[in-house]
């Protein structure tokens, strides 16, 4: 079945970098826009970033603009989120999401903890 | 940036009773193409969110027909005709008209 599996999370010090990956399977990845959505511990959902199906258009939340970079490799069905200059408030569960009609397929998420 | 406001934030409902969640946007979510870019999600405890309603009133695949979405312009409603134990969780609206996409604060539904 359609599946998104995130990886790359971990514990990192403030100011450092981390790269998240999302492996897609059982659907034509190259046809769909992709998103990252995050959730701080005990908090609500926050949209982080969007990339078009072909990678030509990228959008970011103001809270991550200039620090995070979204990208994709349609040859390997993988979505990425390069996170730099990490802050404590970036701590949370990061979901990879595909969108056809709405944000309709979600991964289980990977946890990022920014702490010294 | 569009601001999304949900109410109530907590919603206790008896089994079999209806439930209604409101979502208000700071500007119209009606696109020039005629579609309303408002989605609804449910996040059950310990799970990833999943899509319930897209484009204001369209049920996502596999969503029971007791869930319905309505509204226009800036005021939207998610209705559950008969609440069951499986509906417990936090419901979010989200505007997808323009970036940054914005979620509402969430409405926690519990069974009385």
> Is A103–B106 a contact, with Cβ atoms under 8 angstroms apart?
no
Using only C-alpha atoms, chain A has a radius of gyration, in whole angstroms, of 13
Q: Which residues of A touch B55 (CB under 8 A)?
A: 101-102
* Residue ranges, chain A, pLDDT below 50: none
Instruction: Cite the beta strand spans of chain B per DSSP E.
Output: 4-7, 10-13, 19-25, 38-43, 50-54, 58-59, 67-72, 75-80, 89-95, 102-103, 107-111
pLDDT for A108: 98
Segment 67-106 of chain B within 8 Å of chain A by CB? 90, 92, 94, 96, 99-106
Find where tokens 């991964």 sit.
Answer: A107
Banded pLDDT at B101 (limits 50, 70, 90): very high
Q: How far apart are CA A101 and CA A90, in angstroms?
A: 28
B37 inside 8 A of chain A by CB:
no
Closest among A15, A17, A83, A73 to A49, alpha carbons compared: A83
Banded pLDDT at B112 (limits 50, 70, 90): very high
Type and span of the H or E element at A60: strand A58-60
- Over the stretch B43-70, which tens digit does the pLDDT of each residue have? 999 999 999 999 999 999 999 999 999 9
User: Are B15 and B109 spatial neighbours (Cβ–Cβ below 8 Å)?
Assistant: no
State the count of interchain CB pairs (< 8 A) between A and B: 58
CA geometry: angle A60, A110, A9, nearest 5 deg:
85
Tell me the average pLDDT of chain A: 97
């Amino acid at each position: 079945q359609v599946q998104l599996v995130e990886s790359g999370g971990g514990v990192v010090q403030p100011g450092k970098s981390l790269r998240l990956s999302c492996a897609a399977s059982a659907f034509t990845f190259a046809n769909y826009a992709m998103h990252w959505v995050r959730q701080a511990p005990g908090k609500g959902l926050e949209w982080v970033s969007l990339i078009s199906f072909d990678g030509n258009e990228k959008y970011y939340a103001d809270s991550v603009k200039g620090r995070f970079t979204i990208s994709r490799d349609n040859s390997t069905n993988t979505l990425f989120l390069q996170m730099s200059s990490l802050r404590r408030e970036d701590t949370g569960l990061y979901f990879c999401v595909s969108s056809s009609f709405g944000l309709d397929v979600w991964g289980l998420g990977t946890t990022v903890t920014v702490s010294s | 940036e569009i601001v999304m406001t949900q109410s109530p934030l907590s919603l206790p409902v008896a089994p079999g009773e209806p439930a209604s969640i409101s979502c208000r946007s700071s500007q119209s979510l009606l696109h020039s193409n005629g579609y309303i870019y408002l989605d609804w999600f449910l996040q059950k405890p310990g799970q990833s969110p999943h899509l319930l309603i897209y484009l204001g009133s369209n049920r996502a695949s596999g969503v029971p027909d007791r869930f319905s979405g309505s509204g226009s312009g800036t005021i939207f409603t998610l209705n559950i005709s008969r609440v069951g134990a499986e509906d417990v969780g936090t419901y979010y609206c989200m505007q997808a008209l323009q970036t940054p996409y914005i979620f509402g604060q969430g409405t926690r539904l519990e069974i009385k």
